[in-house]
Structure 1
Amino acid sequence: MKKPMITLAALLFSGALTATATAQQPGNPAAPQQNAPQTQTMQTPQNLPDASEFSDTDLDAFIATQKEMAGIQQTYSRKLQASKDEPQKAMKVQQEAQQKMVEAVEENGLELERYNQIVRLAQHDADFRATLQEKL
């Protein structure tokens, strides 16, 4: 019972960081503008994709990415902890972690947007989340 909770935590952690990495990419229309107010909008269920939109290939690639994300999370959590008293170094570590996560997504054959759609749906749809956990 403990493994699915850890897996879910990794899912949510990696999704949040990957979404951040996506938003920070140059030229991304989702990236915050310097003078724009920085408000976040919550995804509502009607804005979410349907689980049937994801192929088995998408889900398998997502699961492979999640397994890599767990290792990235462990490695960079330790590095962040070690640099907690050095804000500049901590920022570089966080950026490096985000880049590694983006690379993991792409190396497993997913586009960042597709990966983020799966994460968002898993956060809001318990049945879909259970399907992903079974694959893990």
Structure 2
Amino acid sequence: MTSFQILYQPRAVIRLLTVCLLLETAYGEDNWINNLLSIDINVSPIDEANKLEVQLTVQNNVKKCMVVEVSIEDNPNITFLSAHATYTACICSLNNYFWDIQISANTVLIGKAEVVTTEDICPDDEDIFPVTSYTTTVSHEILVTT
């Protein structure tokens, strides 16, 4: 019973609560920041050899919309058949982005999604997520067919 008497002292209680709050905030914030977006890449062949359709799926994992730039990193083995587009969009749940490419050698395709602060992308009535400088990537190895 005497071991519980220390908890009746106001300073001890405040210190204990402060430590608990700091530990939970640090863990919760790290977990929250590391999981803003999920991205997935799907590569499908087009009728001709070494021509592929790339689909990059970006999913928002928080309850607020955010402005995201979506792109495929430059690679000398990849030729973009339509355009090497970088998309900027307001993502509130899930969006898909597409590119048609042709590869000249075995390569690794890298898709990227980055939260940015571009204004006037999301509608005015949307609650916008404030974090910037968050980037996530996904990669996919592609082999040349003969």
What range is the shorter-chain TM-score in? Answer: under 0.3
More strand by share: 2
Q: What TM-score, normalized by structure 2, do the two folds share?
A: 0.21
More helix by share: 1
Q: What TM-score, normalized by structure 1, do the two folds share?
A: 0.22
